[in-house]
């Protein structure tokens, strides 16, 4: 007996999932911990009825109907891995309870937001590994009109001039940087490579700077533009130097002053049916 499939109007194609936060939120919403598996029991009862006529002898025939009934009970049990269902169930439940805001602004700071826009991801780790050989070949190409010692000296000088830039990029502490363009606003974030769904190495090779289509980001909006608070944290110790360095680090390698900052929990795109897509 065929089972009717549930109506599904869209699919969430997840690119990034913070599994620890998803399990934590799901457990807090349900009170039963994180769902590990789903067990489904199906029972099927069937009966077969046969109808026939027969004769007793040649002189007298007795027509009769006889029902042959056979009863059969079938049961099956299936266990499903519930892990793939957690992210969407969590998002639906959070939205149902009013935890999610769709507004990007100061009033949403510190809360969960679901934003959609154009996504850009930069694989910093791959860039760090390829930077030196790429710059070498680019410099060789730049001075291809020179020959011999003159070319070697020019290439060496150029590479020395670019050395501080190489060292700076190699010092970037995060592996993946992402930006979401929401209207005229920019939202900055870093991603954990281990939480990416699929291989992150091919993102820039396939898409370059910007991923095609519209993406959604669910996360905690925890930084707003121009949020440098005028709070004196100095103590007159060496720690003050560290504070200033951390501010310089943010401005040089991290979120710029005009951007929002978000801690992402899930990044996905929505796949719709062919009828909806038309």
- The closest of 187, 179, 162, 169 to 125, measured between CA atoms, is 169
* 54 vs 136, more confident: 136
Hey, how many other C-beta atoms are within 10 angstroms of the C-beta on 59? 5
Distance (Å, whole) CA 159 – CA 50? 91
Token pair, residue 190, equals 């870093």
How many domains does the chain divide into?
1
pLDDT digits (tens, 9 = 90+) for 175-196: 899 999 999 999 999 999 999 9
- Determine the structural domain holding residue 184 and report its residue range: 90-122+175-273
Q: How confident is the model at residue 145 (pLDDT cuts 50, 70, 90)?
A: confident
Decide if 240 is inside a domain: yes
Hey, how many other C-beta atoms are within 10 angstroms of the C-beta on 246? 11
Decide if 101 is inside a domain: yes
Pairing state of beta strands 100-101 and 215-223? unpaired
Report pLDDT for 167. 83
Mean pLDDT of the chain: 79
Decide if 105 is inside a domain: yes
User: Backbone phi, then psi, for 273, in 5-degree steps?
Assistant: -65, 160
Report pLDDT for 111. 96
Decide if 6 is inside a domain: no
Residue 241 belongs to domain with CATH number:
2.40.50
Global confidence as pTM = 0.72
Decide if 154 is inside a domain: no
pLDDT at 83 > cutoff 70: no
Decide if 189 is inside a domain: yes
User: Backbone phi, then psi, for 272, in 5-degree steps?
Assistant: -110, 165
- The closest of 145, 182, 180, 157 to 255, measured between CA atoms, is 180
Give start and end residues of each alpha helix (H) in the chain.
19-30, 86-96, 124-142, 148-170, 203-207, 239-253, 274-277
* 220 vs 228, more confident: 220
The label of the residue with tokens 């807090």 reads: 28
Decide if 164 is inside a domain: no
Per DSSP, the three-state class of 189 is strand
């Amino acid at each position: 007996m065929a089972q009717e499939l549930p109506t599904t109007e869209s699919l969430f194609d997840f690119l990034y999932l913070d599994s620890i936060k998803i399990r934590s939120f799901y457990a807090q919403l349900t009170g039963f911990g994180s769902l590990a598996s789903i067990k489904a029991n199906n029972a099927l009862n069937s009966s077969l009825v046969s109808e026939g006529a027969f004769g007793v002898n040649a002189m007298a025939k007795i027509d009769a109907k006889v029902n042959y009934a056979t009863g059969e009970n079938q049961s099956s049990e299936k266990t499903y891995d519930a892990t793939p269902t957690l992210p969407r169930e969590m998002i639906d439940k959070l939205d149902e309870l009013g935890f999610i805001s769709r507004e990007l602004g100061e009033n949403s700071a510190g809360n969960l937001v679901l934003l959609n826009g154009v996504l850009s991801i930069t694989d910093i780790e791959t860039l760090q590994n390829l930077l030196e050989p790429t710059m070498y070949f680019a410099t060789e190409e730049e001075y291809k009109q020179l020959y011999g010692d003159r070319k070697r000296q020019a290439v060496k000088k150029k590479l020395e001039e670019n050395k501080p830039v190489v060292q700076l990029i190699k010092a970037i502490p995060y592996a993946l940087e992402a930006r979401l363009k929401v209207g005229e606003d920019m939202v900055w974030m870093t991603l954990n490579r281990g939480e990416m769904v699929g291989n992150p190495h091919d993102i820039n090779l396939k898409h370059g700077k910007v991923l095609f289509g519209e993406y959604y980001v669910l996360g905690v909006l925890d930084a707003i533009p121009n949020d440098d608070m005028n709070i004196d944290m100095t103590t007159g110790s060496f720690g003050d130097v560290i504070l200033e360095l951390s501010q310089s680090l943010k401005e040089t390698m991290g979120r710029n002053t005009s951007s929002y900052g978000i801690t992402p929990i899930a990044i996905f795109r929505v796949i719709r049916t062919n009828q909806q897509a038309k």
